[in-house]
Chain A
Amino acid sequence: MAERILRVNMTTLSGAFEEVPAPWVGLGGRALTSAIVAKEVPPTCDPLGKHNKLIFAPGLLAGTPCAQSGRLSAGAKSPLTGTIKESNAGGTAAQNLARLQIKALIIEGMPTDDSQFYGLRINKDGVEIAEEQALVGKGNYEVISTLMQRLGQKIGVLTIGPVGEMRMSAANISVRDPDGNIRSHGRGGLGAVMGSKKVKFIAIDDANGPGVAIADPEKFRSAAKTFAKAILEHPVSGEGLPTYGTNVLVNVLNEAGGLPTRNFRTGQFEGHDKISGETMRETIVKRGGKPKHGCHAGCIIQCSQQYVDEKGEYITSGFEYETIWGFGANCCIDELDTIAYADRMMDDIGIDSIEAAVIIGVAMEAGIIQFGDGPGTLGLLKEIGQGTPLGRILGNGAASVGKAYGITRVPVVKGQGIPAYDPRSVKGIGVTYATSTQGADHTAGYAVATNILKVGGFVDPLKNDGQVELSRNLQIATAAIDSTGLCLFVAFPALDIPETLVAIIDMLNAKYSLSLTGDDVIGLGKQVLKTEHAFNNAAGFTKHDDRLPEFFAEDPCAPHNVTWTMSDEEIDEFWNF
């Protein structure tokens, strides 16, 4: 059976399979969500209106035995940024869709009756759309456990919490992970788009599906083996990430002076050791939690973990550096347990934990609560989930809070909160924040690797030289990786071990009977960026939007006392490719 598109129309409450149009045949993941948004969504449309579309696409390697291939891309026009958006997540859904040979799920239109939510049930025969009452207003944990009881333990689930139902711009989409817990399409408010379509959840049952076809299984197996070997051999993916998780970065960035602290006032946090990856691992081991854990079947890096309380009871998983930085250093809360409860609450109500961290930092700046106030932070998150008037101002993003309270220290680009690396002392990532088609997004071109971690060479983080080129190369490579459905952390071995990229290309060729070269893959990455950039330009964005907030150029960041000094002309060179 050939791969197919499943198109769901929420105006007519109907859905059907379609053939994959020729231009989309070779695309997957981000390349496909962005191609579909660019072709079918009017760039100037209201992101919460009927003309926007929500797209899900597994990557090109989804559902195969290739390690790390379980990421699912979600795309739409973002209500947070107004730009095109792709946000990818782990969990089981990419593999469920791939086993049904669904290359993309397109959700379009919206019901005329705004009072009713729906649940979508996808299986080998298509989609059933049913009115949903019981789960409306419920958190994501309850939605997932209820659906597993209703429909079977193996179903894939995509769901929104109350924040998505209320169409707040920071709402995320949750994905069930292999243990029934939560991973998230975090950034850009895609949960609000799902809420605007009145879709509470999407359940995916791949039973008796056609399965995943591989043209040359022998060649595929051999390349997959080489690929897995490279991942396990590289010290970052093979040892560092499984041992300490991504949170090892708290101490790295603190030492390097790039850990944004107190809403981006300085680059070092006094309480860093109490929230560090080293302390987190010790705490998890002592309490009997799981220090390593994969977000999808086939993950051999296992950077995730299950964080437990003093009695050994589960609090949260997928407890990431960016979240811990955000509530830790950025909001000056030096208690891991408080941050873990915040993480759990955010997963449950369905809000992006990076945006929420920047939101709370700005709320502290505005004096709504004081820096360091853990209980106050949990209280504000609760208000967001309840949709109180203050909760809605907060839930619409850091820029919304800054505007409501008339303050200028608001770390956002194109309306999206700046994550865990200060652009003044990690200048390469500053270029990525400024130029990314997604708004401020560290994953779009992770220059931290080369600026700070010394992976893929070294470019001095405190100088402007070489940063634009570094960010450009990384953004192109990342757009390609995001299209394969591979976890971005394969970039660590790929930057240092040449066999890694060869193996990825061999797998693509073996699966689809192609003869792609390295240049083709780079070409794909460039094409994705140019498609996204053209959409943004047509939506009204210009080079003048590729800028960091003013305060970065004016307020020096300790301990290096550096400001953002990249000229507009230098930044604009980014698009010269």
Chain B
Amino acid sequence: MQITTKLFASFRIGRFAAMPQSWPAGATVRQVVDQLGIPEGELGIVLINGRHVELGERLNEGDTLSLFPLVGGG
């Protein structure tokens, strides 16, 4: 299946901003994060199609996965 992974803030350094990727059906967020070499402890916000999810969540064809480190403002 095709998904789009989007990275933000410091996660972009040495990686990419947005990239379409092929994954086998049933792949989880954790698998994508591991493959990117992002330590789980550094993850702040994890969204699939704009909704907060846990690392065990399965991805579906056409999903957009957005990963942010812990950031804030206001």
Interface residues contributed by chain A, number (CB under 8 Å):
42
| Contact (Cβ within 8 A) B47 A256 | yes
Residues of A within 8 A of B44 (CB): 235, 453-454
Judge whether A252 and B74 touch: CB under 8 Å: no
Is the Cβ of B71 less than 8 Å from the Cβ of A321? no
Q: Check if B74 sits within 8 Å of A489, measured CB to CB.
A: yes
A257 x B68 contact (CB < 8 A) = no
Q: How far is the CB of B53 from chain A (nearest CB, A)?
A: 11
Whether B50 contacts A255 by the Cβ 8 Å rule is: yes
Evaluate whether A248 and B71 lie within 8 angstroms (CB atoms) in the complex, with A255-B6, A453-B45, A454-B44 already known: yes
| From B8, B51, B74, contact of A488 by CB (8 A) | B74
Answer whether residue A249 sits at the interface, using C-beta atoms and an 8 A cutoff: yes
B33 to chain A, nearest CB (A): 15
User: When the two chains form their complex, are residues B9 and A243 in contact, meaning their CB atoms are under 8 A apart?
Assistant: yes
Report A's interface with B, CB cutoff 8 A: 235-237, 239-241, 243-249, 251-252, 255-257, 273, 277-278, 303, 320-321, 442-443, 446, 448-449, 452-455, 458, 460-462, 488-489, 492, 559-560
Question: Judging by beta carbons under 8 Å apart, are A240 and B12 in contact?
Answer: no
CB distance from A23 to the nearest CB of B (A): 32
Interface size class of B (residues with CB under 8 A): 20 to 34
- Give the residues in chain B near A460, CB-CB below 8 Å: 52
A236 and B72 form a contact (CB under 8 A):
yes
Chain A residues, Cβ within 8 Å of B52: 256, 454, 458, 460-461
Main SS class of interface, A: helix
Distance of A258 from chain B, by nearest CB (Å): 9
A387 smallest CB distance to B (angstroms): 32
Complexed CA–CA distance, A278 and B71 (Å): 12
B contact residues around A256 at 8 Å (CB): 45, 47, 50, 52
CB distance from A302 to the nearest CB of B (A): 13
B contact set with A: CB distance below 8 Å: 6, 8-10, 12, 17, 42, 44-45, 47, 49-52, 66, 68-74
**Is the Cβ of B50 less than 8 Å from the Cβ of A559?**
yes
A400 → B minimal CB distance (Å): 26
A460 to B42, CA, bound (A): 21
Q: 29 A-B pairs, CB-CB below 8 angstroms? A: A235-B42, A236-B70, A236-B71, A237-B72, A239-B69, A240-B70, A241-B71, A243-B9, A244-B71, A249-B74, A251-B8, A251-B9, A252-B71, A255-B6, A255-B50, A256-B52, A277-B9, A277-B73, A278-B17, A321-B74, A449-B74, A453-B44, A453-B45, A454-B44, A455-B70, A455-B72, A458-B52, A461-B52, A462-B51
Q: Chain B: which residue is nearest A449 at the CB level?
A: B72
A255-B47, A460-B52 known; A244+B9 contact, CB < 8 A: yes
Q: How far is the CA of A560 from the CA of B48 in the complex (A)?
A: 12
The docked-state distance in angstroms from the alpha carbon of A320 to that of B63 is: 31
Complex-state Cα separation, A236 to B69, whole angstroms: 9
| Chain A neighbourhood of B49, CB < 8 A | 559
A248 to B45, CA, bound (A): 13
- The 8 A-B residue pairs whose C-beta atoms are closest, nearest first, are A246-B73, A240-B71, A236-B72, A235-B70, A257-B50, A255-B66, A249-B73, A248-B71
CA distance A488 to B73 in the complex (A): 10
- Nearest-CB distance from B64 to chain A (Å)? 8
Does the CB pair A246–B50 fall under 8 Å? no
In-complex Cβ contact of B45 among A237, A442, A454, A488 (8 A): A454
Among the listed A240, A320, A449, A488, which residue makes an inter-chain contact with B69, where contact means beta carbons less than 8 Å apart?
A240
Task: Report chain B residues within 8 Å CB of A559.
Answer: 49-50
